[in-house]
Structure 1
Amino acid sequence: MSVSNIKHDGDIVWEYKPRFRLYKDGSYERNDFPDVPPSLDDPITGVSSKDITISKEISARLYLPKLNSPNQKLPILVYIHGGAFCFETAFEAYYHDYMNALVKEANVVVVSVEYRLAPEHPLPAAYEDSWNALQWVASHSDNEAKIEKEPWLINHGDFDKFFINGDSAGANIVNNMVMRAGTEKLHGDVIIAGAILAFPYFWGSKPIGSMSSESNMQSLSYKIWEFVYPLAPGGIDCALINPIADGAPSLAQIRCSKMLVVTGELDEVRERGIQYVEAVKKSEWKGEIELVDVEGEDHCFQMEHLQSEKARDLIKRLAYFINK
């Protein structure tokens, strides 16, 4: 466990059990789950993985399924992990096991991005790191790019099938990446074929559904945003967290041809995810968007209960989206 200041006053402002706790004096506790090593041949899935460094700030874990031929080309999936922008890593078992299962089912090359976390690196650091990682992957399609190219991407990546996926805060990042791609080109003129937003972390000052104004402001989602991006322009109605806020850029700017948004019936951010889907449909965006609302499940259940029938069904649905 890493602690910024062990002399805290004991008053808790908010906590996300068992991962993170913020105290009134500004100190915090982050419960870091142990990292697990990559494997060249996972005994359950047959998926290979390895760790790489993209830049001084960014690293990643790459995944490659069993190949049918030495020159087989596969879709590329850039994955952005969740964790409220302030905990979780691409290297812990929670994500490693999920990536192995997804890679096996979808038959894709995955780059699972490790970005800098708040509060040591407040937002927009995670957005910038994710964009730079996306650009690094895309640069492998450019023969003139002056980078040390990763063989798994060069030999097996199909840049005409370039996808981005994230959960929770990672899904929030995914929205902002496809929005940014609408105004900035990716290296090699790579186009994002599709985006998956699983249980996206969106919020705003206006309550929706049955939530009152007071409960909206006292929600964990509200408090987390204030912590991870204290200088956010517009506060909780910054377009980064509230993409349908007054004055936010039009969602017609999204640069990909199809999107899949996943929500859970019991999830606090469910209504925001559904509202986002409706807003995208009402914009002038020309792509296709689909909502999968999982009955009886909470936030990111598919990783908490990876072996459950509903988790397996959801992974199959994501694989179908990528390969259809």
Structure 2
Amino acid sequence: MACNIGKEVDREFLPYVTVYKDGSVDRPLETPFVPPTPHDPATGVSSKDITISENPLIKARLFLPKLADSESSLKIPILVYYHGGGFLFESAFSADHHLFLNTLVSEAKVVAVSVEYRRAPEHVLPIAYEDSWAALNWVAGSGSETEPWLKKHGDLGRLFIGGDSSGANIVHNLAMRAGKESLHGGVKILGALLTHPHFWSSKPVGTESIEGHENAAPYVVWNFVYPTAPGGIDNPMINPLSPEAPSLQGLGCSRLLVSVAEEDLLRDRGVWYVEGVKKSGWIGDVELVDVEGEGHAFQILRPGTENANKLIKRLADFLQK
């Protein structure tokens, strides 16, 4: 983290982000970045960094599982992944997400594209959504035609999108967009993974408290990362069940898995979302995974634990079907 002693603060959202008047930004809680690994010693997974677009600048980290000589031409599912961090911090290059995707790619035997979308506050929403859609279209088009790992091993007939927290929010919005706007070449999304999705609204749901609802972290985060959002916290991108939101019947995928955690503030939102999908008339298979005794993004923040390993196995099973 850069030294910003003596700099004048413009605005801040503590403890996550401080913006200084010179335009510099501090992210005190951000996980350190790590380089890609040509051959991860623990999993055998290889990774590399690529540039999807120069203008705007969109990067990604690709992951390829260890394949036997007999599998040198094997076609495997593609997972386009969007990291969490409240649209504010964390990265496709963060140590925790790198470790998580090494483990998931090894378990699921998929080729993964972890997208480095532009983040707030330097780039407020909806820029992250636009970058994420552009990256997905790249995978469906020129990426699978020119990027060696995708060209040789990627099966566009088994295209998945996935993400955690704010990344899961992005996944929902991409799936909705894919329901009304074709991806390059008419490629279809087979399935979507949403782990601990970041949704909220002006009215509490489930066990959420009425008192202090407007000061809850998901509410404050949204106002910070998308201050001009039409409808504020009831914008359909954060409240997919708002009166102005398009019907969830329009989700542009065939299968959906939503994972929640008992001790997560966002737990009831995930359940609420699944119930909304079921009631919408969406023609597809939706599954809910509810993990007891765990908190938000535990599969990333508590790697190697029994519950983290179990959830990763569950996600892998979804990707292998």
Which category describes the TM-score, using the shorter chain as reference length? over 0.9
Q: After superposition, where does 1:242-257 map in structure 2 within 5 Å?
A: 242-257=239-254
Q: After superposition, where does 1:257-276 map in structure 2 within 5 Å?
A: 257-276=254-273
d(CA) in 1 for partners of 2:278 and 2:178?
19
Q: After superposition, where does 1:23-102 map in structure 2 within 5 Å?
A: 29-31=26-28, 32-56=30-54, 57-68=57-68, 69-102=71-104
1:162 is paired with a residue whose SS is strand
Greater shift, 191-200 or 65-74, is seen at 65-74
Equivalent AA in structure 1 for residue 243 of structure 2: D
d(CA) in 1 for partners of 2:80 and 2:209?
37
CA distance 1:319–1:297, shift in 2 (3 Å): same
Q: Is the 8 A contact 1:85 1:126 kept in 2?
A: yes
**Cross-structure match for 1:8:** 9
Q: Is the 8 A contact 1:141 1:188 kept in 2?
A: no
2:294 aligned to 294, 297, 315, which one?
A: 297
Q: After superposition, where does 1:1-324 map in structure 2 within 5 Å?
A: 1=1, 6-8=7-9, 14-16=13-15, 20-22=16-18, 29-31=26-28, 32-56=30-54, 57-68=57-68, 69-140=71-142, 149-324=146-321
d(CA) in 2 for partners of 1:142 and 1:67?
19
CA distance 1:23–1:110, shift in 2 (3 Å): closer
d(CA) in 1 for partners of 2:52 and 2:154?
17
d(CA) in 1 for partners of 2:6 and 2:218?
24
CA distance 1:319–1:4, shift in 2 (3 Å): farther
**Cross-structure match for 1:146:** none
Q: Is the 8 A contact 1:257 1:288 kept in 2?
A: yes
Count of equivalent residues? 314
Q: Is the 8 A contact 1:6 1:27 kept in 2?
A: no
1:213 is paired with a residue whose SS is coil
| TM superposition shift of 1:30 | 1.0
1:226 is paired with a residue whose SS is helix
Per-residue CA shift, 1:185-231, capped at 9, x if unaligned?
Answer: 01111100000000000000001223333321010110000000000
Q: Is the 8 A contact 2:219 2:233 kept in 1?
A: yes
d(CA) in 2 for partners of 1:191 and 1:114?
22
d(CA) in 1 for partners of 2:211 and 2:13?
16
Per-residue CA shift, 1:286-311, capped at 9, x if unaligned?
Answer: 00101001101000001111110111
| TM superposition shift of 1:13 | 6.6
Per-residue CA shift, 1:111-132, capped at 9, x if unaligned?
Answer: 0000000010000000000000
d(CA) in 2 for partners of 1:131 and 1:259?
18
Q: Percent identity?
A: 55
| TM superposition shift of 1:105 | 0.1
d(CA) in 2 for partners of 1:228 and 1:4?
25
Gaps of 5+ in 1: 144-148
Q: For the aligned residues, what is the CA RMSD?
A: 2.1
TM-score, with structure 2 as normaliser:
0.93
Greater shift, 32-41 or 216-225, is seen at 32-41
CA distance 1:4–1:73, shift in 2 (3 Å): farther
Greater shift, 25-34 or 39-48, is seen at 25-34
Per-residue CA shift, 1:53-76, capped at 9, x if unaligned?
Answer: 001220000000111322111100
